[in-house]
């Protein structure tokens, strides 16, 4: 019997809010660059910083949040589902470090991790090094960072999806158990 295909859409509301947040940081970075150009010292909280350091940090912030904003803007018009769970595995299109297809036979386990107030799902796989060989560029670097920090290159965050982490975890776990059982029988 064919199991149902579950599609979870990208959340436009969350995307718009995140985009607006990145725009705010871009504007703040530009303001900080201009402010640093006209002052001999820059007071941020309890720190007195020299304008050159503030300018460099502001340009880094401008570049980072500018790129993040562009990516989020692009994702706002992405009509593909953020996540698909089907007989083949998990098709991830939720963020910049998405793994695309994670096959059920590659998955060993799942875990919810919380860093500060953000929850995400770690997907433990059998051969992480082999899995990462299928990627290049920034995506591969992001996966390598995940692997060093959490022991797996794959994490799924529900921030960009139309669901919460607990629902996503439960849905993936149920399907994983079912698919692993089907592969044994």
Q: Are 22 and 69 in contact (CB under 8 A)?
A: yes
- Assess contact for 86 and 5: CB atoms under 8 A: yes
Contacting residues for 21 by C-beta, under 8 A, at least 6 apart: none
- Closest to 10 in 3D by CA, of 89, 71, 86: 71
Question: What does each of the 185 residues of the chain score in pLDDT, given as a tens digit?
Answer: 456 889 999 989 988 999 999 999 999 999 999 988 888 877 777 778 888 888 899 999 999 999 999 989 998 998 889 999 998 899 988 877 776 889 998 999 999 998 888 888 999 999 988 888 888 888 888 889 889 999 899 888 888 888 888 999 999 999 988 887 655 44
What is residue 115's three-state secondary structure? strand
In angstroms, the CA 28 to CA 38 distance is 16
Q: 154 — phi, psi (to 5°)?
A: -110, 125
- Whether residue 130 contacts residue 138, with contact meaning beta carbons closer than 8 Å, is answered with no
SS3 state at 134: coil
């Amino acid at each position: 019997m064919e199991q149902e295909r579950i599609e979870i859409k990208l959340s436009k509301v969350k995307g718009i809010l995140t985009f607006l947040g990145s725009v705010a940081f871009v504007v703040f970075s530009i303001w900080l660059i201009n402010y640093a150009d006209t002052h001999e010292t820059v007071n941020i909280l309890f720190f007195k910083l020299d304008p050159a350091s503030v300018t460099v940090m502001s340009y880094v912030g401008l570049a980072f949040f500018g790129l993040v904003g562009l990516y989020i803007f692009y994702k706002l018009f992405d009509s593909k589902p953020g996540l698909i769970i089907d007989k083949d595995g998990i098709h991830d299109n939720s963020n910049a470090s998405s793994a695309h297809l994670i096959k059920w036979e590659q998955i060993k386990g799942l875990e919810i991790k919380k860093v500060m107030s953000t929850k995400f799902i770690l997907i433990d796989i059998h051969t992480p090094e082999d899995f990462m060989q299928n990627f290049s560029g920034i995506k591969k670097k992001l996966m390598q960072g995940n692997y060093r920090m959490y022991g797996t290159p794959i994490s799924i965050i529900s921030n960009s999806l139309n669901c919460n982490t607990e629902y996503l975890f439960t849905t993936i776990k149920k399907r994983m158990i079912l698919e692993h059982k089907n592969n044994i029988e």
